[in-house]
Amino acid sequence: MGHGKDIKIAQEQFTVPAKGKKFAMIFMAVGALLTAVGFFTMKSGDGHHEATAGGHHATEQHAEESHAEEAHAEESHAEEAHAEESHAEESHAEEAHAEAVKHEASHASADAHHIEDHNEPTEAFGPRVKYNRKPKSKLTTFLTSLMVNGYFYLLIALAALFFYCVQFIANAGWATVLLRVPLAIASFIPYAFILVFIAVLFGYSDIYHWAHYNHLGLEKGQEGYDKILAGKSAFLNAGVLLVVPAVLVLIYFLMGRKLTKLSDAEDAAEKGDTSIFKSTIKWSAGYALVFGFLLSFIAWLFIMSVDAHWFSTIFGVYNFATGWVTALSVICLLTLFLKSQGFLKLVTDEHIHDLGKFMFAFSVFWTYIWLSQYLLIWYAQIPEEMIYYQMRFENYKINFFFNLALNFIFPFLVLMTRNGKRSRWVLGITGSIIILGHWHDVWLMVNPGVFGPGQQVGLLDLGLFMLIGGGFVYVVLNALTKRGLVATNHPYIEESAHHDVGV
């Protein structure tokens, strides 16, 4: 359905307005101030956890953790760990504190329940995990926050490039008038990865407890030997952690560079020449294939291995959903900003409406993946899977439900109406909340596993979010100046200019 009038297709050359530069600089300055205040006022007492349980896997986890305790903590903790390992043979009261006696008695009950009723999803089922807070240095806290924020912006940049590629693969015409926006967002890929790499390079031994375990070099039969971590050692080691993601992101970056060059070449080509368009489809399909299958490796290594005894078969999809809906929100906000500055004249309320529908739909998709992962683990009650949600539900209950409210309840209620998806003010506010909500989502994936209970979002976290966010805005706006905002020679530019959702 068309608009019923002729629309002139004209190139637009973007220059960064003073308002855009000022916003980026203020955002970075405030972020730097909050980061400094947060760093120098924090206490070096964030958590490191010790797991104690009555089941088979949890006993192995406890053995590894208690061995680390012997190297780093006082003798009383080592005695308590020994009580855990021998509780099936000896009296609880002889080796542990009164609190540990009560805790281990509940394990015996849980084990009995496990035998009698294997799959009943009750809280008493399976091993329970006790987390003790241990000191973490300020540097470790800073590097953990740097990894969270760098990874968050990396997901956005990678998913934005995926959005660009999907339009070519699907032969979609509606988004042609705004294709230069996600292409500019993708320019932040190398910067985001460098931040993550720095954090992991200098902090992996403290962020990932499997790194310390590997350093111990324990053999089977030795005290502290962990069957689960030993079985994952071929995958969870410093070489794989540093090399595999670097290679994958380099591939993403090079493919993004190729797609950018094809976009520039299309602008310079003769009108009606579709050879570059066809090449772009091939490269887009290649990126989508590599991105879709290999993003999981980055998520597994950087994020899921923080809780090394835990695993989820859909964790990669969950991370994709987080990055995808956030990228859609960033694309929408950037498009609205360009419109407010007088650019992207071909973008109409119909295009904005479609972006709103995408934000609505994939907020629901994220929730579907979130709920699927949670319900499968809750129902199956597999010990090495339960510990992930036990920590977050019992010790981060406010964050747990706040995460759901920000990322599903609010966008669902606001964007479910047609007017909500067409209002620029509503989309601006909702998009900002979605971005903040999924940043909190990534924070919740990482921090409980690194620090144990009691960690909360602080000034340092918010400061780095703003500091890197300001740099993100600056880089993306400058990327938009390097080519025209309109793909004037794209074969679907006319279709996109006349786009109408029909409702």
Q: What is the pLDDT of residues 440-459, one digit of tens each?
A: 999 999 999 898 888 899 99
Neighbours of 85 (CB within 10 A): 18
8 assigned to some structural domain: no
pLDDT, one tens digit per residue, over 5-49 is: 677 888 889 999 888 889 999 999 999 999 999 999 987 654 333
pLDDT, one tens digit per residue, over 183-203 is: 999 999 999 999 999 999 999
User: 368 and 250: one domain?
Assistant: yes
pTM of the full structure:
0.82
- Three-state DSSP class for residue 481: coil
* Contact of 451 with 46, CB cutoff 8 Å: yes
Number of domains in the chain: 2
Query: pLDDT band for position 135 (50/70/90)?
Result: low
User: 323 and 406: one domain?
Assistant: yes
Query: pLDDT band for position 345 (50/70/90)?
Result: very high
Strand segments (E) across 66-223: none
Q: What is the mean pLDDT of residues 359-374?
A: 95
Residue 110 pLDDT > 50, yes or no? no
User: 280 and 365: one domain?
Assistant: yes
Q: What is the pLDDT of residue 10?
A: 84
Look-up of token digits 């921090």: 447
Q: Higher pLDDT residue, 8 or 98?
A: 8
376 assigned to some structural domain: yes
On average, the pLDDT of the chain sits at: 82
Q: What is the pLDDT of residue 121?
A: 39
500 assigned to some structural domain: no
Its domain, for residue 68, covers 56-116
Q: What is the pLDDT of residue 215?
A: 84
Q: How far apart are CA 78 and CA 68, in angstroms?
A: 9
Q: What is the pLDDT of residue 88?
A: 39
Nearest to 138 by CA among 211, 40, 48: 40
Percent of the chain with pLDDT over 70: 80
Last residue of a domain, one of 90, 116, 142: 116
H, E, C per residue of 439-453: HHHHHHHHHHHHHCC
Q: How far apart are CA 77 and CA 83, in angstroms?
A: 10
501 assigned to some structural domain: no
User: 163 and 254: one domain?
Assistant: yes
Q: How far apart are CA 456 and CA 46, in angstroms?
A: 10
User: 60 and 33: one domain?
Assistant: no
In 209-348, where does DSSP find H-type helix? 209-216, 227-231, 238-268, 275-302, 315-340
Q: What is the mean pLDDT of residues 421-425?
A: 92
Q: What is the mean pLDDT of residues 257-266?
A: 94
User: 315 and 438: one domain?
Assistant: yes
Nearest to 477 by CA among 152, 155, 188, 160: 188
261 assigned to some structural domain: yes
Q: Residue 347 — φ and ψ, nearest 5°?
A: -80, 125
Q: Could you tell me the CA-to-CA distances from 472 to 80, 124, 332, 449, 493 in Å, in that order? A: 48, 46, 15, 27, 28
Query: pLDDT band for position 360 (50/70/90)?
Result: very high
Q: Higher pLDDT residue, 300 or 380?
A: 300
User: 219 and 83: one domain?
Assistant: no
Percent of the chain with pLDDT over 90: 59
User: 225 and 370: one domain?
Assistant: yes
User: 221 and 325: one domain?
Assistant: yes
Residue 296 pLDDT > 70, yes or no? yes
Q: What is the mean pLDDT of residues 284-309?
A: 93
User: 71 and 198: one domain?
Assistant: no
422 assigned to some structural domain: yes
Residue 322 pLDDT > 70, yes or no? yes
Q: How far apart are CA 488 and CA 98, in angstroms?
A: 75
92 assigned to some structural domain: yes
Q: What is the mean pLDDT of residues 86-109?
A: 41
Q: What is the pLDDT of residue 162?
A: 97
Query: pLDDT band for position 133 (50/70/90)?
Result: low
10 assigned to some structural domain: no
H, E, C per residue of 323-363: HHHHHHHHHHHHHHHHHHCCCCCCCCHHHHHHHHHHHHHHH
User: 88 and 204: one domain?
Assistant: no
User: 160 and 268: one domain?
Assistant: yes
Q: What is the pLDDT of residue 102?
A: 40
Query: pLDDT band for position 310 (50/70/90)?
Result: confident
H, E, C per residue of 166-182: HHHHCCCCCCHHHCHHH
